[in-house]
Amino acid sequence: MPLTLDTVKARYPGAESFAFGDSAELSEELIALVRSGKKTGTCGALRDFSDGQEVMPVVGRKNIALDWDGKPALVTETLSVVICRFRDVDAEFALSEGENDDLAGWRRDHQAFFERNGGFSPEMELVCEQLRLVEDLAGEAK
């Protein structure tokens, strides 16, 4: 039986689903970073949570990361949530995202991401989430 979002939600009652990134390529890359243990942080623009595009992370809640095709890929758990301005993100959090080797690279890449997705300002507020991998659903998704 193929793995469905409903099947995973039944396994993790109260879980919310989301997708990483803004393209199939980026989504695949970020899922792989979580699977490898390198990505333990993620962030999004607060405006996207405020307008209902995204569901606000909640400490302790399980979340189902979907691949770009909408299939369940991973289950994560939110460990912490902090709201801070883009310009105040520190190297520790930036490196926890697993995408860059330094804060400057994180700033460059995330500025480009936010410019593509609704606009950028160094003053914009971000929802910064620390997470852990609970279950990799790769083997079940076939």
Look over the chain and give the mean of its residue pLDDT values, rounded to a whole number: 95
Angle at 41 between CA 35 and CA 45, to 5 degrees: 125
Per-residue pLDDT band for 141 (boundaries 50, 70, 90) equals very low
pLDDT category at 54 given cuts 50, 70, 90 is confident
Is residue 127 within 8 A of residue 44, CB to CB? The reply is yes
CA 61 from centroid of its chain's CA atoms: 14
Note the pLDDT of residue 101. 96
Contact 66, 72 (CB under 8 A): yes
Domain boundaries, the chain: 5-130
pLDDT at position 50 = 84
Residue pLDDT, tens place only, 17-43:
999 999 999 999 999 999 999 999 999
Residue 27 belongs to what H/E stretch? Answer: helix 24-36
Residue 140: what pLDDT? 64
Distances (CA, A) of 97 to 29, 67, 82: 12, 18, 14
The answer to whether the pTM exceeds 0.75 is yes
Q: 72-85 and 16-19: which strand pairing?
A: unpaired
Per CATH, which fold does 5-130 belong to? Sulfate adenylyltransferase (3.10.400)
